[in-house]
């Protein structure tokens, strides 16, 4: 996946992304980190075919997300930052509704079973979503994304709203799915600890531009930092 | 309080005020025109009776009505010149003098079936009432008796011509009631489809499921079509339920209407009924097919318009604040269109196409035998619907569906 000189200008003239370039190689877990308003979600939304770039070059598994959007969507699964679920459906119905767009017959049943296992909501999976906590909804959405088995996972703050135990479990699942199925993962996070734990490479984004990129250990060494938080502060000149 | 601060709510209210201001003025002018026509119209009179009492009666009636009675040689010629004609048959005066039941024949020609146009029928009945009162006084004077000894014996037999058809008062009233019920159901169908489709997108945005849905390997057009079809199916189910409820309530309510002096010989009682079947019989197979097409078009138009609103709205509150007034405006326009019964022409058919009035326009044009208007209205409605569908597809394929349409200037940098 390649992003080159990506620019996104919103109506009103606000620049969401301003000349961003990075590459994600097949099978790796790449983390985009940066403060609020730095352009992480905008970048992920462009790659996920939701927004159109104002300028620059984007290729997702060799495909143009603007002109070949449906083909790109067949290869990706996207978890938005604030993913929710239909209030009146049960958790199980929600899983089936989304997975039906990708699978049918026996494969659909297997995928539903897999998502149910990932969500791990016990008997609550058969209850309407309106009674779910934020963490339960997050798990439900993530279970659908993981069980979709795409070539590229695009995860915006995957553990946002989850408690420590569930966050750890989700990180392990992401790593497991990336390794076992050879999938590529592009994720964004505020949580530097999470990024260090999960990602093969990290891109630090600030005001719509990439200010540093590399393997976490390399970055720490390059900026003489103890952790990624210090790397970030030094990279943006703080 | 929070809703009151929503720009969409405020704009919705302003739109309604402006819209109804314009609509109210248009209805006022049209109703005034119809009322003036009814009040000032000349009525043709075919007098087949040479009796001096009849001649005196007509002279008196003409003076009482401000000279609005005009003698014409035949009913047909009279209807070509005037909206209503009265035929006084031979032997009228003689029978009147005997204080026996006497018939007078009225003819009204309508170019619409709207309640406003029915004033022409009422005009005939009013003239008959004038003739009756004057006739009693005249007979009392001729016979030298007290007025109270003269009974009410005048029975009107009114024939109403709607387009090429001849109907009686009961049939016309039934037709109007059936059309009103049908139009009510059609309007309800449109509003429900509009609201359901607007809510379908807005709810998904609010429940934060929309972005995931848009990244599924399904084309945006397919998603839009699915939503419009879903809204149409839901609204049909709801309207069928409403219709069943109405049928249950009104099954036993068939108020009889007297068309002559109570208890008089020859007085008839008509039963007014509402029946979709009667409407379809008027239309025939070709008209029924066109009517079904119009219902499909209306569902597609409403669903697409709702989807457009839901796509540009950020949540259900904004969608409701915009879709509500638009739905109400469309529905009330439909009722106004039906009440005023603007004579059908290409301009009114355009109004019909844009205000849910197509089924009504088709029905009236078939009743009146002016089928070209039905075709023109359908063509215009199809064009309006296609434009709405194209607008929806365009919005669905654009990122506006996600970032919405903000009424305020964006002041801060969006979420990363």
Q: How far is CA A157 from CA A82, A115, B111, in A?
A: 9, 19, 67
- Cα end-to-end distance, chain A, whole Å: 31
Contact B209 A85 (CB under 8 A): yes
Among A111-115, B5-9, B164-168, the least confident range: B5-9
In chain B, which residues have their Cβ closer than 8 Å to the Cβ of A187? none
Pairing of strands B154-162, B102-110: parallel
Q: Name residues whose C-beta falls within 8 Å of residue B388's C-beta, 6 or more positions apart in sequence.
A: B301, B304, B305, B308
Q: What pLDDT, on the 0 to 100 scale, is given for residue B395?
A: 92
Higher-confidence position of A59 and B185: A59
Contact A82 B204 (CB under 8 A): no
Tell me whether A35 touches chain B (CB under 8 Å). Answer: yes
Over residues B141-157, mean pLDDT: 84
Q: What pLDDT, on the 0 to 100 scale, is given for residue B251?
A: 58
Q: What pLDDT, on the 0 to 100 scale, is given for residue B266?
A: 43
Place of tokens 């003739």: B131
pLDDT tens digit string along A30-58? 999 988 889 999 999 999 999 999 999 99
Q: What pLDDT, on the 0 to 100 scale, is given for residue B170?
A: 76
In chain B, which residues have their Cβ closer than 8 Å to the Cβ of A188? 416
Tell me whether B217 touches chain A (CB under 8 Å). Answer: yes
Provide the shortest C-alpha distance from residue B411 to chain A (in Å): 8
Q: What pLDDT, on the 0 to 100 scale, is given for residue B224?
A: 94
Q: What pLDDT, on the 0 to 100 scale, is given for residue A143?
A: 94
Provide the shortest C-alpha distance from residue B321 to chain A (in Å): 22
Q: What pLDDT, on the 0 to 100 scale, is given for residue A144?
A: 96
Q: What pLDDT, on the 0 to 100 scale, is given for residue B263?
A: 41
Q: What pLDDT, on the 0 to 100 scale, is given for residue A129?
A: 93
Q: How confident is the model at residue B354 (pLDDT cuts 50, 70, 90)?
A: low
Q: Give the residue among B70, B14, B18 at the shortest CA–CA distance from B45.
A: B70
Q: What pLDDT, on the 0 to 100 scale, is given for residue A157?
A: 92
Cα–Cα distance measured from residue A3 to residue A231, given in angstroms and rounded to the nearest whole number: 23
Cα–Cα distance measured from residue A199 to residue A228, given in angstroms and rounded to the nearest whole number: 12
pLDDT tens digit string along B34-83? 666 666 778 999 999 988 889 999 999 999 988 989 999 999 999 888 88
Helix, strand, coil percentages, rounded to 5, for chain A? 40, 25, 35
Among B142-156, B260-274, B309-323, the least confident range: B260-274
Check whether A71 has a pLDDT greater than 90: yes
- Residue B356 contacts residue B329 (beta carbons within 8 Å): no
In chain A, which residues have their Cβ closer than 8 Å to the Cβ of B399? 50-52
Among B67-81, B199-213, B215-229, B326-340, the least confident range: B326-340
Q: What pLDDT, on the 0 to 100 scale, is given for residue B349?
A: 54
Over residues B144-166, mean pLDDT: 82
Place of tokens 């000032």: B40
Cα–Cα distance measured from residue B199 to residue B400, given in angstroms and rounded to the nearest whole number: 17
Q: Give the residue among B178, B146, B346 at the shortest CA–CA distance from B247.
A: B178
User: What burial class does residue B127 get, using C-beta atoms within 10 Å of its C-beta: 0-12 exposed, 13-18 middle, 19+ buried?
Assistant: buried
Q: Give the residue among B18, B8, B17, B23 at the shortest CA–CA distance from B323.
A: B8
Q: What pLDDT, on the 0 to 100 scale, is given for residue B31?
A: 65
Cα–Cα distance measured from residue A157 to residue A154, given in angstroms and rounded to the nearest whole number: 10
Phi and psi at B341, nearest 5°, equal: 60, 50
Q: What pLDDT, on the 0 to 100 scale, is given for residue A84?
A: 82
Q: What pLDDT, on the 0 to 100 scale, is given for residue B412?
A: 45
Provide the shortest C-alpha distance from residue A40 to chain B (in Å): 5
Q: What pLDDT, on the 0 to 100 scale, is given for residue B180?
A: 75
Q: What pLDDT, on the 0 to 100 scale, is given for residue B415?
A: 47
Over residues A206-223, mean pLDDT: 93
In chain A, which residues have their Cβ closer than 8 Å to the Cβ of B215? 48-50, 73, 76-78
Q: What pLDDT, on the 0 to 100 scale, is given for residue A194?
A: 86
Contact A38 B416 (CB under 8 A): yes
Give me the residues of A, 155-194, that contact B with CB < 8 A.
188
Average pLDDT, chain A: 92
Check whether B113 has a pLDDT greater than 90: no
SS3 A159: coil
Check whether A180 has a pLDDT greater than 70: yes
DSSP 8-state secondary structure symbol assigned to residue B134: H
Provide the shortest C-alpha distance from residue B14 to chain A (in Å): 25
Q: Name residues whose C-beta falls within 8 Å of residue B238's C-beta, 6 or more positions apart in sequence.
A: B188, B192
ipTM for the predicted complex comes to 0.93
CA B85 to chain centre: 25
Over residues A1-29, mean pLDDT: 94
CB atoms within 10 A of CB B158: 20
Q: What pLDDT, on the 0 to 100 scale, is given for residue B134?
A: 92
Cα–Cα distance measured from residue B385 to residue B293, given in angstroms and rounded to the nearest whole number: 12
Check whether B402 has a pLDDT greater than 90: no
Q: How confident is the model at residue B270 (pLDDT cuts 50, 70, 90)?
A: very low
Q: How confident is the model at residue B258 (pLDDT cuts 50, 70, 90)?
A: very low
Token code pair at residue B394: 């365009």
- Sequence-ordered alpha helix ranges (H) in B254-370: 276-312, 316-340, 346-354, 358-368
Higher-confidence position of B351 and A91: A91
Q: How far is CA A97 from CA A13, A237, B213, B222, B374, in A?
A: 37, 47, 10, 15, 43
- Residue A91 contacts residue A137 (beta carbons within 8 Å): no
Over residues A175-195, mean pLDDT: 90
Q: What pLDDT, on the 0 to 100 scale, is given for residue B344?
A: 52
Place of tokens 């009040």: B39
Q: Give the HSE-up count for residue A73: Cα atoms under 13 Å, Cβ half-sphere.
A: 21
Q: What is the pTM of this model?
A: 0.77
Check whether B18 has a pLDDT greater than 50: yes
């Amino acid at each position: 996946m390649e992003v080159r000189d990506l620019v996104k200008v919103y109506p009103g003239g606000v620049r969401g992304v301003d000349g961003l370039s990075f590459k994600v190689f097949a099978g790796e877990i790449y983390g985009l980190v940066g403060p609020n308003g730095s352009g992480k979600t905008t970048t992920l939304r462009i790659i996920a075919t939701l927004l159109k770039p104002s300028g620059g070059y984007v290729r997702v598994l060799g495909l143009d997300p603007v002109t070949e959007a449906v083909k790109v969507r067949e290869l990706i699964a996207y978890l938005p930052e604030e993913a929710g679920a239909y209030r009146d459906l049960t958790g199980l119905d929600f899983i089936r509704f989304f997975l039906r767009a990708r699978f049918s017959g026996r494969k659909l049943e297997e995928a539903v079973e897999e998502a149910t296992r990932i969500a791990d909501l016990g008997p609550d999976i058969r209850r309407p979503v309106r009674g779910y906590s934020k963490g339960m909804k997050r798990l439900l959405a993530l279970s659908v994304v993981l069980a979709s088995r795409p070539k590229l996972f695009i995860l915006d703050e995957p553990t946002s709203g989850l408690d420590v135990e569930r966050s750890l479990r989700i990180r392990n699942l992401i790593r497991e799915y990336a390794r076992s199925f050879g999938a590529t993962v592009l994720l964004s996070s505020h949580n530097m600890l999470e990024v260090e734990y999960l990602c093969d490479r990290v891109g630090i984004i600030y005001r719509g531009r990439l200010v540093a990129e590399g393997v976490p250990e390399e970055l720490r060494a390059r900026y003489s930092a103890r952790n990624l938080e210090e790397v970030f502060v030094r990279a943006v000149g703080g | 309080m929070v809703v009151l601060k929503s720009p969409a709510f405020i704009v919705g209210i302003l739109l309604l005020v402006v819209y109804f201001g314009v609509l109210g003025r248009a209805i006022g002018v049209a109703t005034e025109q119809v009322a003036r026509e009814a009040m000032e119209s000349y009525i043709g009179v075919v007098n087949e009776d040479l009796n001096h009492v009849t001649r005196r009666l007509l002279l008196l009636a003409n003076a009482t009505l401000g000279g609005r009675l005009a003698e014409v040689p035949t009913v047909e010629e009279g209807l070509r010149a005037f909206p209503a004609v009265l035929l006084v048959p031979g032997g009228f005066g003689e029978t009147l003098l005997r204080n026996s039941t006497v018939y007078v024949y009225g003819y009204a020609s309508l170019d619409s079936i709207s309640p406003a146009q029915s004033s022409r029928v009422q005009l005939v009945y009013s003239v008959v009432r004038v003739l009756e009162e004057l006739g009693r006084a005249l007979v009392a004077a001729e016979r030298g008796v007290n007025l109270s000894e003269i009974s009410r014996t005048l029975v009107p037999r009114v024939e109403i011509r709607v387009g090429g058809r001849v109907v009686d008062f009961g049939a016309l009233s039934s037709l109007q009631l059936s059309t009103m019920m049908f139009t009510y159901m059609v309007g309800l169908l449109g509003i429900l489809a509009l609201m359901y489709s607007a809510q379908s997108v807005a709810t998904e945005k609010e429940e934060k499921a929309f972005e995931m849905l848009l990244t599924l390997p399904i084309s945006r057009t397919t998603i839009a079509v699915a939503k419009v079809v879903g809204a149409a199916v839901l609204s049909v189910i709801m309207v069928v339920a409403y219709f069943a409820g109405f049928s249950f309530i009104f099954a036993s309510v068939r108020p009889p209407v007297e068309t002559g002096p109570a208890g008089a010989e020859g007085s008839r009682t008509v039963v007014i009924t509402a029946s979709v079947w009667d409407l379809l019989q008027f239309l025939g197979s070709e008209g029924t097919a066109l009517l079904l097409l119009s219902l499909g078009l209306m569902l597609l138009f409403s669903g697409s318009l709702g989807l457009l609103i839901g796509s540009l709205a950020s949540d259900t509150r904004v969608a409701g604040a915009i879709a509500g007034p638009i739905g109400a405006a469309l529905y009330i326009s439909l009722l106004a269109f039906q009440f005023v019964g603007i004579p059908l022409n290409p301009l009114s058919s355009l109004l019909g196409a844009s205000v849910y009035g197509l089924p009504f326009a088709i029905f009236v044009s078939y009743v009146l035998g002016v089928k070209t208007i039905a075709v023109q209205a359908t063509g215009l409605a199809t064009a309006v619907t296609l434009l709405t569908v194209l607008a929806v597809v365009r919005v669905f394929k654009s990122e506006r569906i996600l970032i919405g349409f903000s009424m305020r200037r964006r002041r801060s940098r969006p979420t990363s």
